[in-house]
Chains A and B, each alone.
Chain A
Amino acid sequence: MNGGSAALRTLSPAAAAAPPDRTLLLLLPAMAMLVLMFFVPMVLFFVRTFIEFQGGRAEFIALARDLLFSQPYLTALATTNWIALTVTLAVLLVGYPIAYYLTTATGPSGSIVVLAIVLPYFTSIIVRTFSWMVLLGEHGLVNDTLRAIGVISEPLPLMYNRLGVLIGMSYVLLPYMVLTLYAAMRSIDPLLLRAAEGLGASGFYTFRRVYFPLSLHGVLSGALIVYILSIGYFITPALMGGQHDIMIAMLIDRELEVAVDWPAAALMSLSLLAVTLALYAIYYRVTDVRRLIGAR
């Protein structure tokens, strides 16, 4: 590296003026961790699976086809996407006003909302899911309260069904949406809203023509990140869902733990990984990640 830059120095004074960027070295520990703990195990999993596969290429393709077009897989695929989509929309609808509130809030009330959003973010997902189960169960807080005040006579089915999954996942994923939207909204110059208002636009028109379009990249980023996280979800649907709420990650788990069918699990994992990476590619296109975390 030094030899190379020395050679450059003799060739071009301009290159000599800019020393080699050593700040990249700062990423080494993180890179090492990522490679050792994520990349290597994943590659090993796939490689081992395919090495141990008994049979030729034609058989493998047949297996893949049978698996990826099998009824359980297609059902799980549809369920996963439906849940992910619903959760994304729900989180967006709930999160957008909260994020807007945060950009305008000053003083203690704003801090309390930030705390309420961020604190669960740092709490174990299992703890949070069990908390919801305490609330939503047949003899949970919600049903007991409603029965006590006489609104209902039979407990509402709030859990072990699709509704439970949606409630649990939306709650867990809300902070990602709120924080993403908040970052996008904070970068909107308040002067633009004042200008719109001063030039005759109503509050709604200002929102529709100025504020929302300017927050749109935040909406897209937030929706994509929630969607990406949703399609790989496992714990919440496993604990709060019913027997029909099988998501892809649960199907993979079942293949590994129950059926001990590694090739099937690997194939499904690959498909999930491909979809996730494709969505991430879009996410990367619409989002300047550095801006998202506050850099200018």
Chain B
Amino acid sequence: MVEVDSDLAARGAPAAVGELALPAPVAAVRGAIELRGLTKRYGDETVVDAIALSIAPGEFFSLLGPSGSGKTTTLMMVAGFVRPDGGAILLDGEDIAAVPPQKRGFGMVFQNYAIFPHLSVFENVAFPLRARRWANGAVAERVSWALELVRLGRFGDRHAHQLSGGQQQRVALARAIVFHPAVVLMDEPLGALDKNLRFEMQVEIKEIQQRLGMTVLYVTHDQEEAMSMSDRIAILNRGRIDQVGPPGEVYERPANPFVGRFLGEANLIEGTIAPQFDDGTRLVLPSGHELRAPSGSRCSGGAQGMLFIRPERIEITPGANAVGGPRDNALAGRIRRCAFLGNILRYAVDVDGTAPVTVDLQSAVGVAPLPAGAPVVLRWPVADSLILPAEP
């Protein structure tokens, strides 16, 4: 083990100032995680309900959900701190139920960093190595490699309380990867940082993950964070997985209204699902107006349904003549209000027989927003529409 590690450390030795020396991207072979019917109950409440997941080696996988959705409990069961009431956790095909947390060999980053306050930055990062009884020389080499990686090379002697939040977060990250774990578990690691720093750290974490080829299981309630970093996302809702998929897929093709709303602004226009027609599904609004979506929706005719469309997919034009074509849906409405959000203008448009529709337009210099009350036509591609079953 030590030989392999020193080899990796040699590859990771700092090369030039300003350039981070990292091992070349390696195809990960270890670090596959599989959850089978994982369940946790507290009293009568089932907080994690038969979750099944398969995470590939080297994958950046996020558990995304609101608070109380069971995402942290799931992570804590994988880490070994919470005992499951049912199901199995497999690491590279082996059940690790009986393995205590310290023997699971995961790197961990916690929400509040959990930096040891009585140890220097160096000793914090060295902690996992010393716990594994590494020799002093190897520890020093590896710790300086990890600190370079998170750009804290000169901070080894500092104490935790002398560091800013972002720096503490880097220490926690260095500490989690210093022993080259195949899997790193992260529990809302950026939750305590302000927005700009959070974005910066997202980029860094993603970069390090890719270069080291490690599997990351990442817990967050921030959908932008999950989408910007993840290879795949599992959206959790009340202890169950509502959908698993790459960011683009879960954003564009949500499995249900909850997922659609949770991942960003979403229009969910309610109506009755009409029987299938040749090349799609139709939704009839209470006003009698018809909207179309490609077929493939899991909805039967006659049931209540919702047409899902992202606000940025909708075009808005002045006028009152709303006639949809075979490729376009169209709705007539009146501007209710317009909000300036910097890069976009967000319109709320009143439409007959449904809740106001949200439309996002790129804001451009010199373009005056449409005034409230102006009659407009909303138009969007049928291909971008999705008909979802109504919420129970």
Contact = CB atoms under 8 A, between A and B. Distances in A.
Interface string B238-281: 00000000000000000000000000000000000000000000
A214 B118 contact: yes
Contact of B116 (A197, A200, A210): A210
B380 interface: no
Interface stretch (B125-133, B196-204, B286-294): B125-133
A200 B183 CA distance: 13
B221 to A, nearest CB: 18
Contacts of B118: 210, 213-214
Given A191-B110, A192-B116, A198 B131 contact: no
A200 B131 contact: yes
A189 B132 contact: no
Contacts, number: 63
Interface in A160-216: 189, 191-192, 194-202, 205, 209-210, 213-214
B127 A209 contact: yes
A196 B100 CA distance: 13
Contact of A202 (B102, B119, B127): B102
Nearest to A188: B117
Given A194-B81, A195-B108, A200 B128 contact: yes
A190 B57 CA distance: 31
A214 B160 CA distance: 14
A209 B130 contact: yes
Nearest to B106: A198
Given A214-B117, A214-B118, A201 B112 contact: no
A153 to B, nearest CB: 50
Contact of B105 (A200, A202, A210): A200
A201 B123 CA distance: 14
Nearest to A205: B131
A197 B112 contact: no
A201 B102 contact: yes
Contacts of B112: 189, 191
A197 to B, nearest CB: 5
Nearest to B176: A199
A199 B107 contact: yes
B108 A199 contact: yes
A210 B131 CA distance: 11
A163 B179 CA distance: 52
Interface residues of B, number: 27
Interface string A21-48: 0000000000000000000000000000
B127 A196 contact: yes
B101 interface: yes
Nearest to A195: B114
Contact of B101 (A189, A198, A214): A198
B320 to A, nearest CB: 60
Contacts of B114: 189, 191-192, 194-195
Nearest to B179: A200
A194 to B, nearest CB: 6
A210 B160 CA distance: 14
A198 B116 contact: no
A198 B116 CA distance: 13
A201 B117 CA distance: 17
Among B103, B107, B110, B131, chain A packs the most CB atoms within 10 A around the CB of B131
Nearest to B103: A200
A291 to B, nearest CB: 14
B81 A201 contact: no
Given A194-B114, A195-B114, A214-B117, A201 B131 contact: yes
Contacts of B175: 199
B79 A199 contact: no
Among A189, A195, A197, A198, chain B packs the most CB atoms within 10 A around the CB of A198
Nearest to A214: B118
A199 B131 contact: yes
Interface in A93-132: none
B123 to A, nearest CB: 9
B110 A199 contact: no
A170 B175 CA distance: 43
B108 A198 contact: yes
B130 A198 contact: no
Given A192-B114, A210-B116, A199 B127 contact: yes
Given A192-B116, A200-B179, A201-B127, 17 more contacts: A189-B112, A191-B114, A192-B114, A192-B117, A194-B114, A195-B108, A195-B110, A197-B81, A197-B100, A198-B101, A199-B127, A199-B131, A200-B102, A200-B131, A209-B127, A209-B131, A210-B118
8 contacts: A191-B114, A192-B114, A198-B81, A199-B108, A200-B131, A202-B131, A210-B116, A214-B117
Interface of B: 79-81, 100-103, 105-108, 110, 112, 114, 116-119, 127-128, 130-132, 175-176, 179, 185
Top 7 A-B residue pairs of the complex, sorted by shortest distance between their CB atoms: A195-B114, A201-B131, A198-B108, A199-B128, A200-B131, A191-B114, A197-B101
